[in-house]
Structure 1
């Protein structure tokens, strides 16, 4: 039996060798050569596929930092906002204790005294600025305020991208009606920028006031905001060159200067920060979100019992005394300028309590 087994194995090996030695119709090559060629071809194809996938992924990452591709980086962090802080509360005395700060816009609205009076008086039904849009028109423009059309969200409400019947693209801000907050912010924004036209200020196209619903319709700025490009995931190389950063800083300064010097009454924004600087495809900045704005007359300053703004950007003088003037915006712009130059957020909660504020301008 063992001898027979060895003979069978020898015959099998001889048969396999004989088969592999057969000549094939493919250029009269032997079978083992054809098999070797096909194996080499598939190995080469597999290697090329792997290389191509790696190359496509690398190119996709490179394209992500180009603003012309339409990809806007996301920012996961949220800076704490000061909404309705008592006049004499010193939020700068112990920066580690932020319990007195409200992380969202206050439900109490923009008020100046204990009675809850609105910053700007006015009848929302008789504004006279921009075009009045019906709720139906804005529903059609935003496809029923569809979730996929949301381009911004915060304590003030939700912003939707919309396309009007004439084909123009707009941003529709649906204000949340929290204890009259929508009415107050609606009036403030329309009074502040309703008739203002400046290339570095976001334009108000129109508004909607039906029942308790209050909506504002703005020009659509299609490249996100400065915070996203400074602190979002833009890839290994930031598209914000020094020339672009200078362009953004100068444009923002021009917009604020127009609010302070070119209008009567002048407008103090009160919430100058990177997330409120919108950018177009050519990196032109537009100051936005005038929900906290204050209109000031000829007097040099104004005393308010409510301190409004965003932690890290609010000046210590305004926070401690309630004395409001255009200098408050200038301080916030100084913080913004440092943020543009360094690329660092003005608030860093990973630091020790006394060093949470990265920039403190004296």
Structure 2
């Protein structure tokens, strides 16, 4: 059963130095034609895989708010027309760049059903913002959040990064302090990962990228967990913190290993036990839609073994962990029968809590999450 829809807007006015998502410079791009192709993909997808209980819609990028007011209105009207928002829809979110938002654009979004904004703040240090390729500045964040509240938004999230080039522990603490003064409901905070095909990767290859030592990055993460709890933000996932009731339903879809639509160039979807990847280049994406009605570049039938592994390494990202009953109901066998040895080993290392009804990461396990996840890969024999 499909519970979520992700829609990808690949346009950016500036490419961030750490970003490896599918994106293109906005200037001279066929934006309206692309939005038409997206609507056709929505329509065809829903005909093939009807939505019965869609709970969330998330528009990401790229930079969705790089669209002007008319383009944003066109996109949101297409979504409303095709998805005909169901009574089950609780969350309609848009990823927002603090430098792109006018009150008029925010009103268009709010009036057409958007009820959650996720701001890509990353840091409140203007020098660091310039260093990582962001065009907005700290003052833009303040202004945009004020405008968003004026436009009627009361579910706002901000992203903050740590482990950035030249970032100190003090810098990160300052950003958190400023963030707590903004009266928002949710934070996503994650460390920099240098991905291939990014500006930072090229700089690192040339020995020109200086990152904080791993010890300092770990201190930043531990401080993050501590101070979030002090301010009433529950850590419901490794990198996500929310006031009660403001958890991201969309991201929980991924961590719960539920099915979702992926609409747009480079988007990924999971429906009917098949994971699909859409073509990334705009022209190829649009041509495939025109020729076949679908933009799929590759498809993968997920095996039962892969589903079980995904249930573990995705579910363990959540503070609630992996439910033993849900695993049994989903796969027809106890969690302990499939992963008993691995659970025992990780528990003895102090990385897992083995509760009566679930397994979850310990505090130490959150710091070494990738090591724990790796332990559950390649365990289940393939069919």
The two structures share one fold, judged by TM-score above 0.5: no
Higher relative contact order (CA 8 A, sep 6+): 1
Larger Rg: 1
Tell me which protein shows more helix as a share of its residues. Answer: 2
TM-score by length of 1: 0.29
TM-score by length of 2: 0.28
